[in-house]
A and B are shown apart, each in its own frame.
Chain A
Amino acid sequence: MQSPTRAPLRTVAEWDLRAWTALLVCALLVYMPTAAYAAKDQPPERPLPPEVFKPLDEALQKSYLELFDEASKLEFTPQQIEKMRQYLKDSRSYCRRLWAGKIDQWEKELRAAQAELRSRTRTLKEAQRKQYHCKIQNLRLQIHNGRMLRQQAIPTAYENRLAKLDLIEKWPAEEKQIRAEIASGAYTQRKYGDVLDIGFRDVGRGQEQDVKVGRDAIREMKLAGLMPPEVKNEVVRRYVTDLARKIARNSDLRVPVQVTVLNSKEINAFALPGGFLFVQRGLLEAVEDESQLAGVIAHETAHAAARHGHRLMKRATISSIIYQAAQVAALIFTGGAASIGLYYALQYGFYGLGMILSLDLLGVSRDLELEADQLGVQYAWKAGYDPTGFIRFFDKMATQEGYVRGLSWFRTHPPFYQRMVHAKREIMFLPEKKGLIRNTDAFDRMKKALKEVTAKAEEEEQDRPSLLAPETGCPKPQMPEMKPGKRRVETVCNIPID
């Protein structure tokens, strides 16, 4: 029997085009992912010479109000701005990749620690067990914080930076346009342009019908256990109520405003239909002067006055929504809906600065937010407050605290640039008024009283059990420190700064 003959191996010199192509494809398949990974692993190169990069970078650290004043004096070419924009986008991608890598690493370490604990669990002494528990707990905390940074903090920080870049580029032209509108008197024709008639114009017809709806909503929320406890301190309550009433008197709200101060650390305020306003303790802690708080309360009053809740609302109760949740379960399991929370939002006219519901899914909330910004600025101005308080508070949240504490504040709102320009534009259209208030002694007294409330709440918080950190007495995990006012996002991403 003859054995099968094997084709002789070809030497390199004999390779045809097909063989060379195969070799090339193989090499590319091996090299490309490695090369791409290696390329991604470096912070992006600065695209501009230092004499351009440095002043532009410094300008981006300024507040929105400063930039509104200075943008027309800055001399950067569209190409330089475009290169900076690309650099910021690349930095954002790099930063997120960097944190994705860290989270992956911690997850691996966590799994390894858990496996080791499991294999040794029966022989461990209490002290050794505690060491493992602390290690696992800290890794979990690091992963949790890392995810917060990657998914929320880093994008928010860069969105703020990109918005300021947009402002440098587009504001000079926008400002010219606004000044032209003022000169021609065209600005009086804008929607809600009749600011001298606030309180007498046709805004939110039928507000009185909302009172019962709002009252029902509050009852439902309390029954459902969704309402945080109220702040009992009389100084704080009286101050916030007086301020809200003052703004309501100078607004288009024609139903009495009813104010509740909630003892919750969230930086938030929200309005229910019918003039029910809820201000959370965290917001009172975060504002720096009375005009900032007035700006936020005026924004919420605008939601109630313009009946924004009504526009989104259909008659329903919380319990019937839960019933409906079962009906939409099929959608969820087939990936047809983002979450059942959408149904809460559809059924309930619930508005707030940092809404707990994903109203942005409706696609209509952005217009309503811009409308509330416009009306809010008008109400704060009419009540005698510096209307820039709203912009300053927004800036503080976005620049200093936004990506640490007040993340929900930005989740459902229009792009930063659009929002800031919209508010500034309205401020420019407002008639000049002297003696606008920025701060009062009453505000300082409220802040003093609030310290006691906060201290007591923090004491109670310490007794709160936790599933995330149940082991006590563990050394704190190493996490990048983010000091207010510093350019933290570069710090946490190892991007060199001057």
Chain B
Amino acid sequence: MQHPHRLIALAAVAAALSLAGPAAAREVSLYVTVEKDGKLIGGLTEKNFRLYEDGESRPFRLAEPETPASIALLVEYSRASWPYFNDILRSIEGFFEEAPEGHWYALATFSNDLNVRVDFTKLRGRISQAFTDLPPPMWSEINTYDAVYEMLDRMSRLKGRRVLIVIGSGLDTMSSHTLGDVKRMAERANVVVYGVGVGSMFRGMWEPYLTTTARMDLTMAQAFFQMLADRTGGDAWFPRFEAAFRDVMEGIMQSLAFQYRIVYDSQVPEDGKFHKIRLEAFQVTDDRRIDFRVRVRQGWRR
């Protein structure tokens, strides 16, 4: 035997691999919204879905959504929010009218830091009450990244179905967390995020007078909400008119009511890397496959 040490090394590696075995399976829950031409599609069964993790097909099952859901509102509340404060009020008002009974609701606001105003309660009226009882905002900072990061971090440790509705401009002034930090947290937290962008009308009025840098900031703000929605399987809206904010809240609540829950056992290793998820939803009618638009988290980190 010319190279016994190589064989020993190979044997050791093989033994280590066999001891470690495959990564322990972990149950993953996906909340999925299915749409066609802007209409929510209900009544689909398991045969209408295909699931791929890191490009490989995975077995799954459809399960009942976990109830009650934990739904948190994160609201921008800064002195700088004043020009579009009516948009924020309209959103809260819309939420107040559309939120169904039976879920857990919480309210947090942010400017330079995050403030939990109402911890989870089933009395959703406490949210609007707490909001109307808020003292005047102290700071002009809008640290959106820090607030979203911290909320996702806190919510990641809750059990069951978790939803975060962010109402704000999407602008960020002095956060200590970067966009990348928030993105990674969104991938890890398994919280569905809905973004409601406020200030579009105000923005439209001042559009011709904005500098290139200001325009870039505003584009970034919108892109931030869109990124959160895409990463987590939520949605993002940027209504131009005050009256539309109530419709947006109605849309979010409908979306939640129509969501499917897909459960599967993931085998991916605990490597902290991003594992891509792809879900197809379709219906076959008269041998013709009709594909639907699917909103689901783009992947996850273990």
Contacts and interface: CB of A to CB of B under 8 A. Distances in A.
A227 B136 CA distance: 27
Give the interface size bracket for A toward B: 20 to 34
Contact of B155 (A225, A344, A470): A470
B82 A467 contact: no
A28 interface: no
Contacts of B41: none
B116 A468 contact: yes
B154 A467 contact: yes
A473 to B, nearest CB: 11
A218 to B, nearest CB: 13
A465 B120 contact: yes
Contacts of B125: 221, 224-227
B101 A468 contact: no
Contact of A467 (B119, B134, B137): B119
A89 to B, nearest CB: 27
Interface string A320-337: 001001100100110100
Contacts of A133: 157
A181 interface: no
B183 interface: no
A226 B90 CA distance: 19
Nearest to B177: A118
Contacts, number: 91
Interface in B155-169: 155, 157-160
Across the A-B interface, give the 7 residue pairs with the lowest CB-CB distance, nearest first. Answer: A226-B125, A225-B125, A225-B124, A340-B132, A341-B133, A470-B157, A224-B125
B70 interface: yes
B236 interface: no
Interface residues of B, number: 41
A440 interface: no
A464 interface: yes
A338 interface: yes
Given A322-B132, A465-B158, A226 B108 contact: no
A344 B131 CA distance: 12
A343 B125 CA distance: 16
Contacts of A333: 79, 82, 85, 136-137
Interface in B199-218: none
26 contacts: A118-B176, A225-B125, A225-B126, A226-B125, A227-B125, A322-B89, A322-B93, A322-B96, A329-B82, A329-B85, A329-B89, A332-B134, A333-B79, A333-B82, A335-B136, A339-B135, A341-B133, A343-B132, A464-B104, A465-B70, A465-B104, A466-B120, A467-B151, A467-B154, A467-B155, A471-B157
A122 B72 CA distance: 26
Interface in A218-266: 221, 224-228
A225 B129 CA distance: 10
Contacts of A283: none
A381 to B, nearest CB: 36
Contacts of A437: none
Contacts of A335: 136
A343 to B, nearest CB: 8
A356 interface: yes
Most buried by B among A344, A358, A465, A466: A465
A225 B123 contact: yes
A341 B128 CA distance: 10
Given A225-B125, A466-B119, A122 B136 contact: no
B75 to A, nearest CB: 14
Contacts of B42: none
B114 to A, nearest CB: 9
A465 B86 contact: no
Interface in A337-371: 338-341, 343-344, 356, 358
Contact of A326 (B86, B96, B135, B155): B86
B121 to A, nearest CB: 8
A356 B96 contact: no
A466 B82 CA distance: 30
B166 to A, nearest CB: 14
Nearest to A344: B132
Most buried by A among B96, B101, B132: B132
A318 to B, nearest CB: 8
B158 A470 contact: yes
Nearest to A333: B82
B59 interface: no
Given A224-B125, A226-B126, A333-B85, A465 B159 contact: yes
Contact of A228 (B82, B123, B137, B272): B123
A226 B124 CA distance: 7
A322 B126 CA distance: 13
Contacts of A226: 123, 125-126, 129
Interface in B175-191: 176-177, 181
A224 to B, nearest CB: 4
A62 B153 CA distance: 49
